């Protein structure tokens, strides 16, 4: 079992006592943290020692909603007239892109995005995938990329009826069973949820099949909800039900279910989220990019909803999402006093809670027994850093700082901003070639 000692760090533990420890140390054996604090270094004989040089040392970040398959969309302009609304954004861009991917594209899109996630201090990603032309086995392609980069992941395939009725149900079932088998053999790196797109693309028969299958497997769901008005309108026109009411009809809500976006949820639907202990993940940069409304984040929190934050495929940089979240709320409500601490707590505490519902290995704090997921940004505080000032450092300092070191599951995967175990230059060059071929297939 390998061991690692981190010294001379400004520790932000995010533990139960919320300790901030100057000149602190972290000792790791295997993939777990053994000791945190100001203990004598002679207590241990580590295989390797990392000098943090006074920089922050804190838990690795957790992305509560990503679309790794969207990586090759960067710089791409879909053919034809520009999309004028959210429905056209889906049909003209995303549904054409995901159909153009082959199995190797899926792997490389995940590999590149996960490399960027690791370089931004993210160690766990909850992903929502779609690739209709290579559906079966596609989650294995994602898993391969996670293992090669060294991160942990929770995967789901996006079931919808837009190409074929019930497409993706079997892929979810297969992968959920695979993860269960891996856990039984002691491999907890990957987890799974039952993925669905949104009610606007799920007919009654498919929704019932998804519900029956996931319930038989004791799985939660990962599904978009009320992202745009069209999802609400279609559900009302076809079924005479609000979005959360229809989900409730099929037993979809629950403590292991993630609803994504929630821009157009009503107050009563927030009560349903809370009463079912469901999770809601918002993605502010994505919502702004698509010209959607502003999710009622502060109302969600007041209703007691477990709110997380994700990147939704826009990037793999999480701190920028928290920054966007609080600015989004202030701009919408024209109030410069709102959402500062809430955005940070969502990122650092709520995302951890969401993640720990889905994985058997606890993470998100520097404490004994926690998974050794750690980030060391190139950031030495030049103003006081403590419990009262930390969030200011997060949003105005860490959001612009590069990450020097990322440790995932006890393994150093980013050193001096690079991933030494991967040929990053060759991977990027190969991805650029693949992107040209993918774009050429989209008409």
CB burial string 236-246: b at 16+ within 10 A, e below: eeeeeebbbeb
Query: Residue 341 and residue 387: Cα distance in Å, rounded?
Result: 11
Alpha helices in 33-130 (DSSP H): 86-89, 95-100, 103-119
* pLDDT computed for residue 390 by the predictor: 97
Share of the chain residues as helix, strand and coil, in percent rounded to the nearest 5: 45, 20, 35
| Residue (of 93, 245, 65) closest to 156 by Cα position | 65
* pLDDT computed for residue 358 by the predictor: 98
Token code pair at residue 178: 């695979």
Return the half-sphere exposure (C-beta side, CA atoms, 13 A cut-off) of residue 288: 14
Return the half-sphere exposure (C-beta side, CA atoms, 13 A cut-off) of residue 25: 16
- Average pLDDT along the chain, 443 residues, taken 10 residues at a time: 96 96 97 97 95 97 98 93 94 95 98 98 98 98 98 98 97 98 96 98 98 98 97 96 98 98 97 98 96 95 98 96 96 94 98 98 98 96 93 95 98 98 97 96 91
Token code pair at residue 394: 């997060």
Strand order in the sheet with 306-309: 194-196, 221-225, 258-261, 279-282, 306-309
| Residue (of 61, 63, 51) closest to 12 by Cα position | 61
* pLDDT computed for residue 38 by the predictor: 94
384-390 long-range CB contacts below 8 Å, 24 or more apart?
Answer: 385/10, 385/12, 385/20, 385/56, 386/20, 387/18, 387/20, 390/12, 390/20, 390/344
Are 275 and 261 spatial neighbours (Cβ–Cβ below 8 Å)? no
3-class DSSP state for residue 180?
helix
* pLDDT computed for residue 1 by the predictor: 85
In the block, which residue shows the tokens 């009503």? 266
* pLDDT computed for residue 443 by the predictor: 85
Burial of 234 (0-12, 13-18, 19+ CB in 10 A): middle
Longest dimension (CA), the chain: 69
Neighbouring residues of 227: CB distance < 8 A, sequence distance ≥ 6:
86, 198, 260, 261, 262, 263, 264, 287, 292
**Per-residue DSSP letter, 64:** E
H or E element, residue 233: helix 229-239
Give me the domains of the chain, ranges plus CATH numbers. 3-59+362-415 (2.30.40.10), 61-358 (3.20.20.140)
Query: Residue 86 and residue 162: Cα distance in Å, rounded?
Result: 16
| Residue (of 186, 65, 52, 50) closest to 124 by Cα position | 65
The pTM for the full model equals: 0.97
């Amino acid at each position: 079992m390998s061991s690692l000692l981190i010294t001379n760090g400004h520790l932000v533990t995010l533990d139960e006592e919320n300790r901030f420890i100057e000149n602190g140390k972290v000792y790791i054996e295997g993939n777990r943290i053994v000791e945190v604090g100001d203990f004598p270094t002679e207590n241990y004989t580590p295989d390797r020692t990392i000098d943090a040089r006074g920089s922050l040392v804190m838990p690795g970040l957790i992305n509560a909603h990503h679309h790794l398959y969207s990586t090759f969309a960067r710089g791409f302009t879909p053919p034809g007239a520009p999309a004028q609304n959210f429905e056209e954004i889906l049909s003209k861009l995303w549904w054409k892109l995901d159909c153009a991917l082959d199995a190797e594209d899926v792997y490389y899109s995940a590999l590149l995005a996960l490399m960027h996630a690791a370089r931004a201090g993210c160690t766990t990603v909850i992903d929502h995938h779609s690739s209709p032309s290579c559906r079966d086995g596609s989650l294995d392609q994602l898993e391969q990329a996670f293992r090669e980069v060294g991160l942990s992941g929770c995967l789901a395939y996006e079931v919808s009826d837009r190409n074929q009725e019930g497409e993706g149900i079997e892929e979810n079932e297969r992968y959920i069973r695979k993860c269960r088998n891996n856990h039984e053999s002691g491999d907890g790196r990957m987890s799974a949820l039952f993925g669905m797109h949104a009610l606007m693309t799920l007919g009654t028969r498919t929704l019932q099949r998804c519900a029956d299958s996931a319930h038989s497997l004791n799985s939660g769901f990962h599904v978009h909800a009320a992202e745009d008005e069209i999802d609400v309108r279609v559900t009302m026109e076809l079924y005479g039900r609000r979005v959360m009411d229809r989900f409730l009809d099929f037993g979809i809500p629950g403590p292991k279910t993630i609803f994504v976006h929630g821009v157009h949820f009503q107050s009563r639907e927030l009560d349903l989220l809370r009463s079912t202990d469901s999770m809601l993940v918002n993605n502010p940069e994505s919502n702004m990019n698509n010209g959607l409304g502003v999710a009622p984040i502060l109302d969600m929190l007041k209703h007691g909803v477990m709110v997380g934050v994700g990147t939704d495929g826009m990037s793999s940089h999480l701190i920028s999402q928290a920054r966007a979240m609080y600015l989004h709320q202030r701009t919408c409500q024209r109030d410069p006093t709102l959402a500062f601490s809430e955005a940070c707590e969502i990122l650092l505490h709520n995302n951890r809670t969401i993640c720990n519902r889905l994985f058997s290995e606890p993470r998100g704090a520097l404490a004994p027994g926690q998974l050794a997921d750690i980030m060391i940004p190139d950031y030495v505080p030049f103003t006081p850093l403590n419990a009262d000032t930390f969030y200011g450092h997060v949003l105005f300092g860490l959001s612009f700082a590069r990450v020097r070191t990322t440790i995932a599951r006890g393994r150093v995967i980013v050193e001096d901003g690079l991933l030494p175990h991967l040929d990053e230059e060759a991977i990027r060059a190969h991805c650029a070639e693949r992107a040209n071929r993918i774009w050429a297939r989209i008409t």
